Structures are given as structure tokens and as C-alpha cells.
Amino acid sequence: MRRALAFLCVLLLASCAREPDIVKQQAYVFGTLVEVSVVNAPGAELAIAEVLARFDALHRQLHAWQPSELSRLNTALARGESMTVSPGLATLLTDAQALAAQSDELFNPAIGGLIALWGFHADTPQGRVPDRQILTDQVAQQPRMAQLVVAGTRVSSINPAVQLDLGGYAKGAALDQAAAILKRHGIANALVNIGGNVLALGEAGSRPWRVGIQHPRKPGVLATLELADGEALGTSGDYQRYFEAAGRRYCHLIDPRTGWPAKDMQSVTILVQGTRAGTRSDALSKPLFIDGAGHLASRARALGIDTWLAVDAAGKLLISPAMQARLR
């Protein structure tokens, strides 16, 4: 339900100034609702269909636990073996490695083992706190993306504890691939929304696309802003995938340094421009969330992110000057 609310916040605001006809299509991919909105243009339906087909293919390729190319790779890595992967997956892994290094491995898709221990590999979290000693042992193995060896399309790891989970990356990569498909079809004005991760192309008629940032504890929006051409908005929060035990909330965003879910933030939203804006908006919101409010400004600065909005664990709103100037 929370996912649907976040989704609707974006959709309703994006369409509030709908002057031209908007061609829309929805689907359920990556465990969330997605919608592609295109200002009516020749071939819009065909372009949207190709985008949604690409999303489905990515989901089937990158699922970490159901049968997929990535799950087969994880099996090989756990055995200490190498595997030849598709060129597309090799490219994604190399890119994810670079983002992990940039974030000091706080964005760490190699901790799939920890994700599984916490039960967040299932569609519905299993809702139990793992044994502390098992967590300690898993963290001690220090799985990191730097231990992944990508040689062309041959992938191996120097650490068999590396288990890949690209859940914090795939939606952003899908946004960038969607933008490329739409542009190839001659679509200049569109909004792609994957469960609240959003990328804009052009405008919604005579004005920019307007989107909302979901409030992490209440229905509705926390703030609204307009997106310029090529900008992407990414949010990491503790309100979409979590469980509660003994009065405490445990979310799916795991701190790889401790093995425990991050607990210092409710949500972090970042605005990104330029090359691979979708991918970076998805991946780089994670280290800001995990590192917590005390390191928010310095971590954002280190990652080259100047436009951000966050809500800390106490519900305090934190906004960068650049984001404050963008809010409507």
C-alpha cells in the first residue's frame, strides 16, 4: 500500500497540468508499480511497449533469488567458480563496481547473503531478526564489489561470500535504458516512474513535469518539485520494505559495516542530472541513507550530490540549499 501511495504521489502531480494528450501505460515490474507517460507523439504506444518489455527482461535477468542469469552467477561465485555472462550484465556489474567504490562500499550489491539472512530476498519480508553470531560471521567475510573480477564477459570473485543483489541499482539502470529507447523512437517528452524513482524527458506540454516526494510516515507528499529534461529523482526509505519486531522497525537497507538495517533515517531523496542520471539517483541515495544524518552533508558532497532532501529518524526535515531552491 505504501508503494502504491508513493507511486500515486508522482503520478497525480505529474499530470496536474496536463495540457496535451498523455499516452500512459502501467505494469508491475521490479516488485513495484511502474508507469511510462509520453506526450502524445507518433509511435508513442510502440515506444512504451518496448520500454515495458525491456523492464520485464531486466527483472528476469537480474532477480537475485529466483532463476535468472544473476542467480546462476551467484551459484557459481559461491562455489568459487567463474561464469560467462551476457555483455549487458557485465556492463551493469562494472558500473555497479564503480559506484560502490565511489561510495566507499556503502552502496554494496555484494551483500546478498546479508539480505537473505534478514529475509528481504522474498517478495514479503519474513519478519525475523537473524541470530547475532550468524550476522557477525557474515560481516566478517567482508563481501565487497571490489572482490568481483569482470574480465570481458567472464565473471569471478576472490571471495566466495560475494552474493550479488542489484535491487538497489536495477530500477535506476532501467530508467536510463528507458530514456534511450524513448529517444530512439523520437520521443522527446516523457516521464518514467518506477515505484517513485523518476526520470523526465522534455516537458509535460508547456511546463516542466512536476513530481512529489512521498512522506515517509504519512499518506501524501512531503514536497513537490519540477524536473528538467534529463533529471532523475531517487529515494531510499525505510517505509517500503520493512518489518517490525519488539517495537522496532527493520528496513531492507542494510549497513554492510554492521550487518544491521540502517536506522538513522526515514528517507533520503536526491536529484541527479547528466550521464546515467537514473542509475546514479537510485544507487547513490543508498549511502546517504545508510551513513545517517550526521554524515549526510559530507557524504553528499563527496558523491557530488548537491540537491537532496532527507527525513531523519526523529522526523526532522533536512534540506540542502540547492533542493530548497527547487521545491514548489
> Residue 12: what pLDDT?
43
pLDDT over threshold 80, residue 305: yes
pLDDT of residue 127: 85
245 burial level (CB within 10 Å; 0-12, 13-18, 19+): exposed
Compute the C-alpha angle 170/176/39, nearest 5°: 125
CATH architecture of 66-157: Orthogonal Bundle (1.10)
3-class secondary structure, 218: coil
Instruction: Identify the CA nearest to 269 among candidates 203, 210, 212.
Output: 212
Backbone φ, ψ for residue 139 (5° rounding): -65, -35
The reported pTM is: 0.93
Q: Angle at which helices 44-62 and 69-78 pack, to 10 degrees?
A: 20
Q: What pLDDT score was predicted for residue 123?
A: 75
**pLDDT recorded at residue 126:** 81
Q: What is the chain's mean pLDDT, rounded?
A: 94
**CB neighbourhood size of 91 (10 A):** 14
Task: Name the grid cell of 284.
Answer: 547513490
Record the cell numbers describing residue 287, joined without a space.
549511502
- Domains in the chain: boundaries: 2-61+179-324, 66-157
Average the pLDDT over 155-179 and give the result.
98
pLDDT at position 1:
42
Looking at 12-16, 169-173, 260-264, which range is the least confident one?
Answer: 12-16
| Separation of alpha carbons 181 and 280, rounded Å | 18
What span, in angstroms and rounded, lies between the C-alpha atoms of 220 and 236? Answer: 16
pLDDT of residue 19: 57
What gap in Å lies between CA 107 and CA 279, rounded to an integer?
12
pLDDT band at residue 122 using 50, 70 and 90 as cut-offs: confident
- Nearest Cα residue to 306 out of 290, 292, 291, 325: 325
Q: What share of the chain in percent tops pLDDT 90?
A: 88
Confidence (pLDDT) at 18: 44
pLDDT in tens, 64-106: 989 999 999 999 999 999 999 999 999 999 999 999 999 999 9
Q: Average pLDDT in the 3-11 region?
A: 46
What pLDDT is attached to residue 125? 84
Instruction: Dump pLDDT digits (tens) for 43-65.
Output: 999 999 999 999 999 999 999 98
Cell triple for 183: 529517444
Whether pLDDT at 165 is above 80:
yes
* pLDDT confidence bin for 9, thresholds 50/70/90: low
250 φ/ψ angles, rounded to the nearest 5 degrees: -120, 115
What are 11-41's pLDDT values in tens digits? 445 444 445 799 999 999 998 999 999 998 9
What's residue 238's pLDDT? 97
Q: What's the pLDDT band for 7 if we cut at 50, 70, 90? A: very low
Q: How far is CA 246 from CA 118, 196, 249, 265, 277, in A?
A: 15, 29, 9, 19, 39
Q: Taking 50 as the threshold, does the pLDDT of residue 194 lie above it? A: yes
The cell for 291 is 551513513
Superfamily of domain 2-61+179-324: ApbE-like domains (3.10.520.10)
